[in-house]
Copies of this chain bind each other. A is one copy, B any other.
């Protein structure tokens, strides 16, 4: 069976990817609801109808972007965390990586942070497993750290993972939206880690 790669889909994986990338750029630039399918098609250099050969509808396109990018983030995170076994170093690595990724893929970051959050449809009804999987990387690190006595045991990991993610994500969001950057991501990562590890009190 001399079938092309990814033969379970009839179409080329290239075009699928091309449309996803176009959609990321377009949605990041104009917002999901203010972008038309025709905009995405034009950016992808493809006919309007072609989009529907690869995606069920406009919503499906957004969800696909989300899954695509979360896979990317999870994959990069898991790779980066292999290098160290110290929970504190791991957490530092995670924070730093998240910020770096946002910097590396600003359009992607914007879609994730702003566009996806928007619609009740997605946040409330879409199961969102991939996001939880990403968050669980953090709670895993916290759990390890508590077990090994590096982190305080009285902290609730369920709350803590959110606090950490929220802090990092807000920094990332500001970075994404800020035109003139007032600080580098590396600085920000240091500040955030310092604060999370040692607190703000003298």
Contacts and interface: CB of A to CB of B under 8 A. Distances in A.
Interface of A: 28-34, 88, 110, 113-115, 117-121, 123-124, 142, 145, 149-156, 158-160, 162-171, 173-174, 177, 182-183, 187-188, 191-192, 194-202
A158 B154 CA distance: 29
Describe A's contact surface by its main secondary structure: helix
Contacts of A196: 195, 199-200
A167 B170 CA distance: 8
A120 B170 contact: no
Contacts of A110: 120
B195 A163 contact: yes
12 contacts: A88-B201, A110-B120, A114-B120, A118-B118, A150-B201, A151-B200, A152-B202, A158-B182, A159-B183, A159-B187, A164-B167, A166-B170
Q: Determine which residue in A29, A114, A142, A197 has the highest number of CB atoms from chain B within 10 A of its CB, and name it.
A: A114
A160 B150 CA distance: 24
A28 B120 CA distance: 8
Nearest to A145: B200
B188 A159 contact: yes
A24 to B, nearest CB: 13
Contacts of A195: 155, 160, 163, 196, 199
B163 A171 contact: yes
